[in-house]
Structure 1
Amino acid sequence: MVEDKQQEQALAAEAAAVAEAAEHEPLEAVEEAVTRAARWRAFAERQNRAYHVLWLTCIVFGAAAAAFAWTTIRVHDRQAAAENLGRDVAQVLSAADVQSVRQPAKGGGALTAYYSPTLHRAALVEHGMHTPAGGHTYAFWYRDASGAARSAGSSRFDHAHNDLVLLPSVPAGTQLEVTLESSGADHPTTPALATLPLG
């Protein structure tokens, strides 16, 4: 850095002055020159430390600002998603042709589906179902008359704000089957916990 070079040059000049004074000046003058050099060196070191402290402080505050911005964005996204879900569910529940069906689930709890044939959407609400063990989830399947199953999503129903699922693009005259699967399953591999007719 330019400032460091300037400081080194100043110290070198001061040292030269001390050496010259040692040859031509009395002891008091030499001591005074040495004292000035020591003070200048201490001042330069304090400046250098202050620069590094300022630099580290900028890094810390920059990282904190980035983390705060990222957290704010995530919170905003979650709020937006919750608002969108609330709006879509309200649209299903207020539909003129909405139908509802409730079924107990094997292992405890129950499920209620609210279905609108004109919207081809359903809102699925759980009541008192257990949170699955790690690596597992409740999987939802559309089961048609031929017995073929198509994925309709999944949920762990693991906290108070995750007890409702919106099911889009519900085929007419289908059944909704709920199973307990390993995360990422692309077809049912366990017996149905509940089956709810939709339409």
Structure 2
Amino acid sequence: MGVVAALLLGVGGYVYYLQRTSHTLSAPMSAGGMTRNSEAEAQAGEAINRLKNVLSRASDYKVYNQVSAIYGTGQERYLFVGGTGEHDLKYPEQDFNAAVASAFTGIQGAVYSPSTVKISDAGGDGTALSTAINIQLIGPSGTTTSTGHLAAWSTRTTMGIVMQAGKPSESIDLASVMRRIRKDVED
């Protein structure tokens, strides 16, 4: 009798775990206290496609039903790209870093060097990641360097990426913005 009870508790616990960790993503008209900006989205096609490529590569092409939106107020804007699909990042930092490096190769006159680390608060279940991308633009007048940032999360069934899409600001905590947006795009 004890074995049967333990088995039933184990199965019940697993079913509960699956329910609590099964999510989907959408791109509602507002997220994170910001409004969706369709005009800005229409101009961000290349960035959206590159981030969708990151999702696909990092998840070993298991993330599908991809959605995207730009949310913001005034000059403060953020690009969100996410997808749903059961996947497992075995080595989150390495898998995501390799996907970012691969998605941003082949851009004429630019060298992208990403560096991804785990961050402690994903804003829910799953793993949170922060990526700094060192960008070198090589042109006829020399080389210029800048840094771009991504904040991402990955659960058993969703993966989302947030990056700044408006006027750059050094004072923005992108991971905090990612957590705010996540609350409204993930169910």
Question: Which category of TM-score, normalised to the shorter sequence, fits these structures?
Answer: 0.3 to 0.5
Whose RCO is larger (CA < 8 A, sep 6+)?
2
Q: Provide TM-score, normalisation by structure 2.
A: 0.34
- Which one has the bigger helix percentage? 1
Structure with a larger share of its residues in strand: 2
